[in-house]
Amino acid sequence: MSLLEIDSIQKSYNGNKILRSIVLHVKTSDIVSIIGRNGSGKTTLFDVIFGSTSAEQKFVRIDGEVKKNTFEIKQGISFATQFNHFPKNLKVSKLINLFFTDDFQKKLFLDDNVIDEIIKNRVKDLSYGTLRYLQVKLYLFSDSKFCILDEPFAGLSPILINKISNFIVEQSKNKGIIISDHQFDYVMNIATRNHYLKNGVLIEIKDRNDLIKVGYIKN
Ligand SMILES: Nc1ncnc2c1ncn2[C@@H]1O[C@H](COP(=O)(O)OP(=O)(O)OP(=O)(O)O)[C@@H](O)[C@H]1O
* Residue ranges covered by each domain of the chain: 3-213
Tens of pLDDT along 152-196? 999 999 999 999 999 999 999 999 999 999 999 999 999 999 999
pLDDT of residue 87: 94
ipTM of the complex: 0.97
C-alpha dist (Å) from residue 189 to 31, 108, 184: 10, 23, 8
Tell me the CA–centroid distance for residue 47 and ligand 1, in Å. 11
Residue 102's pLDDT band (cuts 50, 70, 90): confident
52 lines ligand 1 (CB under 6 A): no
Tens of pLDDT along 87-101? 999 999 999 999 998
128 lines ligand 1 (CB under 6 A): no
pLDDT over 90 at 141, yes or no: yes
Residue 84's pLDDT band (cuts 50, 70, 90): confident
Domain 3-213 CATH superfamily:
P-loop containing nucleotide triphosphate hydrolases (3.40.50.300)
Decide if 94 contacts 123 (C-beta within 8 A). no
Of 12, 20, 43, the residue with max ligand 1 atoms within 8 A of its CB, to mutate for a pocket test, comes to 43
